Amino acid sequence: MNEGEDWIYTETVKDHFLHPRNFLMGDESKFDYDAVGQVGNPVCGDQMRMYIKVKDGKISDIAWKTYGCASAIASTSALSELAKGKTLDAALEISAKDIDDYLGNLPKHKFHCSILGHDALKEAVKNYRKALK
């Protein structure tokens, strides 16, 4: 590996960073959601909010906001695409490795960024299920 190669992003990562899918721009009250999950990583400072709309036990729509790096943005964009249309349980089974594989691999030192979106999704599902009780 040449010097600097550990910072190389795949074209898929670049595309999801530059053209994030399901990104919630502006006021979240304009997105009709059933639950929200919020998490943060105190080490890197990234913060994530994941909004889900559930219909017939499946994620019918999903949106997110983040304060994070390119890897966090690309990872959450990819996760939102992978989770949309899945049952809540199936969406929770999407792993950081699944996201990394979908993106064609993040730089090794950025792999942790793929976990933040998943944690926010997990919180949103937990909050959705709590509201049903």
Three-state DSSP class for 75? helix
Cα–Cα distance for residue pair 16/76, rounded to 1 Å = 9
Whose tokens are 């064609």? That residue is: 104
Please enumerate in sequence order all residues whose Cβ is within 8 A of that of 80, keeping only pairs 6 or more positions apart, or say none. Answer: 21, 22, 62, 63, 64, 117
Among 12, 44, 47, 58, the active-site one is: 44
Among 48, 72, 113, 125, the active-site one is: 113
Q: How far is CA 24 from CA 19, 33, 68, in A?
A: 12, 11, 14
**Is 69 considered catalytic here?**
no
Q: Which amino acids are annotated catalytic?
A: 44, 113
